[in-house]
Every structure is written in C-alpha cells, then in structure tokens.
Amino acid sequence: MLSTQTFTEKDFPLNSDETMRSRRASVKETGQANGPLRAAVAVLPAVSRLRPVAYSITDQALAAGASFFANVMLARTQTKEEYGMFALSYSLYTFLAGLHNSAILEPCTVYGSGRYRNSFSEYFRLMMRVNAYIGLLLMLLVLLICLVLFWTVPQYVSRSLVGLGLTVGVLISGTFLRRVFYVQRQPSLAAQASLIFFATVACAVLLLARAHLLSGFSVFMIFALGWIAAGLGVGKKLALGHPVRSFLDSEPDYWHEHWKYSKWVLLTTCVYQFATQGYYWLVAGFLSVKEVADLRAMYMLVAPVDQVYLALSFLLLPVLASRYAGGRQHDFFRFLKLYAIGVLGATGLFALVMRIAGKAMIHWLYAGKFDDVAPLLYLLVLSPVFLGVASAVGVALNAAEKPKLVFFGYLCSGIITFLGGIPLVVHFGLKGAVYGLLLSAGTCCVTLLVGLFLGVGNARPLRPVITI
C-alpha cells in the first residue's frame, strides 16, 4: 500500500511553483521507496490462491508418505512372500476404504459443499455418527472373514489381515477427519493431522524395525495409533457449530437423495477395485505371492502421483460442486480445463524423471531386492498420465451429481481388465499385469472424457441456490 501525506495551506501556499515542485518530488520519492512493497502486494493474491493447494499436497504427501515409508521398511525387512501377503491385505483395505468413500466421503463432500452448505453443521453431525457405525461394521466384517478362513483354509489367514480387522474403523475415521476439513475449506488443519500421523508412524516403525518386531500386523496397529494421535491433536478444531435441530428433521427425504447419488459411486468403487487393485489378486491367483510383492514394490514408486491427484481432488470437488450448483457452468469447465492441463504437464515430467532415475531409486529404496523389476517400472510410469486425466474428469462428473457416468467409465475399464488383463497375466506373467494396468487406465480415461462431453457439456446447468 502506498504511503500518503497530508498537506495544509500553512505548509504550502496554493499558488507557489516551489510548492508544486516539492509535492511532485515527494510523490516521486514515495513511489520509488514503495516500489518493492507494491510488487509484493501484487503477488499476495496469487500466493493466497496457491496456499490451499500447497496445504493439500502437503497433507497428502504426509499421509501417503507414512504408508510409503512403512511399505519400504516392510519390503526391506520381510521376505517377498510375507510382504506379498501384506500387499494383499492392504489391497483389501483399499477396497473397503473405497466403499467408505462412496457411502460417506463422496456424498458428504458434494452435498456438504453444494446444496446443504448452509446447514453444514447439522449435516456433519449426522455424517459423523454414520461414519462411526460403518467403521464398526467394517471391523466386524474383516474379523468375520478371518474367522471363516481360519475354519476353512487356515493357511490363508495372515497376521496382516487380522491387524486390518482390528484397525480398519480407526483408519477410515482418520480419512473422514481430513475430508471434513476440506469441505470446511481448511486444508491447513488436514495437513496438521497428517503431520501428526506421519511423525507417529515414522517413529514407531523405526523403533519396531530396530527391535526386529516389524510385521504386517504391527504396521496396521501403528497406522491406527497415528490417526488416534492426529484426532486428539486437531479433532477439537472441527467447526461443529450449534445446530438448532436435527438435519433429518429439516430434510426428511435426505437418505433417498443420498442413496440415489452414492449407489453409483459404490458400484464404481467395486469396478475400480477390479480394474486396478484386482491385478494384485490376478497375479496372486495365476502367478504367486512373490510376484505380488514385485508388483507392489513397483507401484509404490508410482503411487505418490496418485496421492497428489487425490490431494488436489479434495480441493477440486468442493469448488466444482459449488460452481455447478450455482449455475456457473462456464467457470466449471474453465477451472477443470486448467486443472487437466496441469495434470498432463506434471505426469509427463514425472515419467521423464522416473525413466532417468527409476533404476537407481529401486536399488536404493529396497536394498537391491527388487532390481529385476526396474525395466517394467519404465512402462508403469505411463499409467499416471491416463489416471490423472481420468481422476480430473471423474471429479467433475461427481461434482455435477452425475456419478452414473463415472460408473460406466470404470465399468468399461473393468470389462477390459477381464477380457484383456487376465489373458495378459496368463501369457506374459508380471509384464502382462503391467500391460493390463495401462490398458485399463487408458480405457477409463477415454470413456470418462466421452461421458463428460455428452453428459455435462450439453446439459442445462442447475438453477442457482438462493438463500435468504
């Protein structure tokens, strides 16, 4: 901001040439002195817009970084067979987390940011109770699976699976906590939660690794401990508000709307699991658990890019949902286009970096145990290019309350996995699984783009929500 000075007639006679020259000199000196300040102030709006993105990426980097670190330590210290069993258990967690996302997180984000944003406090309390019920249900489900396996095929019961059964409710609650901060447009608090989680996990993993007690079971317990610590640290900062009445009293038909939206997300999750995580199970069924460990070790180097997409989607979904619900379709597509261009640039750069340094990175991270899969990594790094665009388009379709189109996109990908992925794994082994992942990701990307242009590009925007 420029500084100002107040001049009076006593200081400067009105008709004095010397007065005018003095004033011009004073203004010139002031402008020169404040030039750097003006430049800094001009940058502030851009910095303010980028700050939520930085918080979101930091949040996801810390949350995913803790998982990445634990995976690397397990891969270095356990046999390939033991690590492969953990990878299968973690794949099951990914599937259950997807179910939780479709039943709670996705509708909560879309509706909480869109049509129910003016009664979010009441809405959040309802979702918080439902999240607790679903967490308990998933814990009982996984433990029941362990019990059935123990009675029928006890050799398939792993300690990792038992650890997942005991902790899955806590793990999904940690995700719920972070997502609510995004809906409230407070990504800095989500980043704080992930920082506490990361610090807890890193310290505990190092401690157990030194004591030779690290295992798949202990890693799941450590993850739960990390999210409990994060909840205690930042949970009190949730904006609960003081609702006057129950949300269902004002919206008695809500569950009908909720199911109308979430059923398509739920079906999409099941298909997505088959199209991506399903390759772990295909490799385990047609090859061996050892190859599952190889595939997981490779994918861990690609997974950080997926986590960046996830981090940005937390910001993108509320913004797009708000624009679409407000009838601002032009802004909706403009924002999406900029995001998609950024994704393509970032993924292309990532693929180049991995092509140059991927082999050395695998050797360093896994102490030479997985050096033989480095050539396949050069192919696998192309997967984020397709999945990045698919992620952006999928978020846009969900924000436009058209999850049915997202389902059809992933359904086509799942069909390709069945028709092409299985033969590829059978005939080409682990290399076939990589080919199948690329084929499934490309199919998903193309079909979602078609759905966006046909389903949203030609649709009439919703009427703006007017509140009094």
In a domain, 115, yes or no: yes
In a domain, 372, yes or no: yes
Q: In sequence order, which residues have a C-beta less than 8 Å from that of residue 399 and are 6 or more positions away?
A: 110, 114, 316, 317, 320, 321, 323, 324, 332
Query: Is the same domain home to 264 and 311?
Result: yes
Query: Is the same domain home to 221 and 342?
Result: no
Tell me the CA distances in angstroms from 369 to 83, 92, 214, 279, 430, one per residue in order: 12, 25, 18, 22, 16
Query: Is the same domain home to 328 and 460?
Result: yes
In a domain, 7, yes or no: no
Query: Is the same domain home to 218 and 277?
Result: no
Reading the chain (468 residues) residue by residue, the pLDDT tens digits are 334 344 344 443 444 444 445 545 544 444 444 554 444 444 445 455 667 778 877 887 888 889 989 999 998 888 888 888 898 888 889 888 888 887 888 777 777 766 766 666 777 888 888 889 999 999 999 999 889 888 887 777 788 999 999 999 999 999 888 888 887 778 888 899 999 999 999 999 999 999 989 999 999 999 999 999 999 988 777 766 666 667 677 677 777 777 777 777 777 777 777 777 778 888 888 888 888 888 888 888 887 777 677 666 766 777 777 777 777 777 788 888 887 887 788 888 888 888 888 888 888 888 888 888 888 888 888 888 888 888 888 888 878 877 778 888 888 888 887 788 889 988 888 889 899 888 888 888 898 888 888 877 655 444 444 333
User: Which tokens sit at 40?
Assistant: 């800094």
* Residue 337 buriedness (CB in 10 A; 0-12 / 13-18 / 19+): exposed
Query: Is the same domain home to 119 and 237?
Result: yes
Query: Is the same domain home to 376 and 293?
Result: yes
The Cα 314–Cα 398 span in angstroms is 12
In a domain, 396, yes or no: yes
Query: Is the same domain home to 275 and 355?
Result: yes
> Which among 231, 247, 263 is the end of a domain?
247
Query: Is the same domain home to 241 and 130?
Result: yes
Query: Is the same domain home to 264 and 242?
Result: no
Instruction: Confirm if 292 and 82 have CB atoms less than 8 A apart.
Output: no
Query: Is the same domain home to 396 and 328?
Result: yes
pTM to 2 decimals? 0.70
User: Which tokens sit at 290?
Assistant: 């050892």
Query: Is the same domain home to 451 and 329?
Result: yes
Range of the domain at 320: 253-468
> Which among 247, 275, 300 is the end of a domain?
247
> Which among 218, 247, 276 is the end of a domain?
247
Query: Is the same domain home to 172 and 72?
Result: yes
Number of domains in the chain: 2
In a domain, 10, yes or no: no
| Residues constituting the chain | 468
